[in-house]
Structure 1
């Protein structure tokens, strides 16, 4: 492999899929994927996540090199010959790789890098609610109701690594049957149940409860419902895709409830 410097060689193949970042496949004896970021904070966070995942040999691409202070910021990740897992197989195929990810313990709550670190999971969630309210003042009452519901439950948890952007396309299966999770820009340390709530939003499930393992406690189900509402609120406040925002708004307009 030649020296990786973040520049795009003439032979690169653009594999950008519509997000704000640009992504290329770089062929050769040791191919890799080069990613340029529009937001340096996301570059810093994905770099930290991939470095941690590489250290733990977790089911994700290996970080080969990075420059989060570059213009633009970039990462180079190992290329994998793989195809996205179909939506109907997503929850089943996700189980093992997600368990490996959630086994990784953090030192704080929130994003790994490029953002404020929080001493508790509750403090992180409150910070997110403040962000959504600032971005969409019309949702302030919804956010306040969710904050009250969150403050009624026990949120004491050990910080575990979360992918926090689980959706179709981010779980792939290699030709050898290995399943890998891609795109770690939004990775955070927190409650693993939040990952399942995020997936329920991305799959547009009418309820997130089917994504919890058999034998989950009532407290687990209550937190799942609360996190689901939180991720819907995030889409309603921040989503740039108008269809995604409209769908989230239609659900956040429902009367608030907690799973029993």
Structure 2
């Protein structure tokens, strides 16, 4: 869009809340949210996800502009939203409809949409992630080996669908008209929808991921087994990669106290 170049206007108001990116609210004829990313692959991935979501008329912010591959820092500009986070006591109930719409969007591969390696199989994607986590947390390599084995044992054909992969309170907004929107798509991937639910269970700090199965399109014994497997993989991700020591310790403790010992 004309006039948006990724630079922070003097009148912009910083609204950064996380540790990875910086975010500003920019006023003007067309108000927008400007995000600067610490990781260019995340910027490319969020831009690709928003374009895909828009093509399917899915509940998400409108992408107004994005950086080219050579821009420093990488950035996106997204339409400002007149919306507020859904209260925590309404979160799961209000999440059901937008999440179902997202999980109906088919994928072309497994893994991130852009800026990272793409995989031909879901099993291949999971093994790649487990190798990354084991390299980052040598003390948990035995856990990673067990999870590798479980992934192989549960290998069945998976049709990839779009996953948000960072579901948590604060990322679901409600507009005044009542529409629900999901924001922050930089970690989106194509994969098994139950991985989205498992990551949500980790973000909700649940001791058992089973309650989030209410959001699944089909909940049976196989779905529950995969949910528990993905939940442990996401716990390993937090234990290995989180920048917050308290999150790492909590995830490791929960992981080592689960059945993968």
SS at match of 2:153: coil
Report what 1:31 is aligned to.
31
Distance 2:140 2:89 in 1: 33
Q: 1:151 — aligned with what?
A: 152
Secondary structure at the residue paired with 2:25? strand
Listed as ranges, the gaps of 5+ residues in structure 1 are none
Give the Cα separation in 2 of the matches to 1:144 and 1:218: 24
Secondary structure of 1:76 counterpart: strand
Distance 1:97 1:105, change over 3 A: same
- In structure 2, what is the equivalent of residue 234 of structure 1? 237
The answer to whether 1:57 aligns with 2:57 is yes
Cα deviation, 1:162-191, whole Å, max 9, x if unaligned, reads 000011111111122111101011000000
Q: CA deviation at 1:256?
A: 2.1
Asked if structure 2 preserves the Cα contact closer than 8 Å seen for 1:63 and 1:78, the reply is yes
Supply the distance in 1 between the matched residues of 2:128 and 2:236 (Cα, whole angstroms).
13
> SS where residue 151 of structure 1 aligns?
helix
TM-score by length of 2: 0.95
Distance 2:9 2:97 in 1: 36
Does the aligned pair in 2 maintain the 1:43–1:68 contact within 8 Å?
no
Structure 2, unaligned runs of 5 or more: none
Shift of 1:104: 0.6
Report the equivalent of 1:120.
121
Residue 123 of structure 2 contacts residue 155 of structure 2 at CA under 8 Å; is this kept in 1? no
| CA-CA distance at 1:255 after TM superposition | 4.3
* Aligned partners of 1:145 and 1:256 also within 8 Å: no
Tell me, yes or no, if structure 1 residue 67 matches structure 2 residue 97.
no
Q: In structure 2, what is the equivalent of residue 96 of structure 1?
A: 97
Superposed displacement of residue 59, structure 1: 0.4
Give the alignment of 1:205-224 within 5 angstroms.
205-213=206-214, 216-224=219-227
Query: SS of the counterpart of 1:169?
Result: coil
- SS state at 1:212 partner: helix
Structure 1 residue 57: deviation in Å? Answer: 1.4
| CA-CA distance at 1:138 after TM superposition | 0.9
> What do residues 99-154 of structure 1 show as CA deviations (whole Å, max 9, x unaligned)?
11111111100000111000000000000000001111111000001111121113
Q: Would you say the 8 A contact 1:110–1:189 is kept in 2?
A: yes
Distance in 2, Cα, partners of 1:245 & 1:21: 20
Deviation readout 1:34-71 (Å, 9 max, x if unpaired): 11111101111111111111111110101111014211
Provide the aligned length of Structure 1 versus Structure 2.
Answer: 257
1:182 aligns with 2:196: no
- Deviation for aligned residue 1:2: 5.1
CA contact (8 A) 1:40 1:68 kept: no
- Conserved 8 A contact 1:34-1:76: yes
Task: Kindly provide the CA deviation profile for residues 193-230 of structure 1, in whole angstroms up to 9, marking residues without a partner as x.
Answer: 11010000000111111111386110000000000000
- Distance in 2, matches of 1:99 and 1:207, equals 22
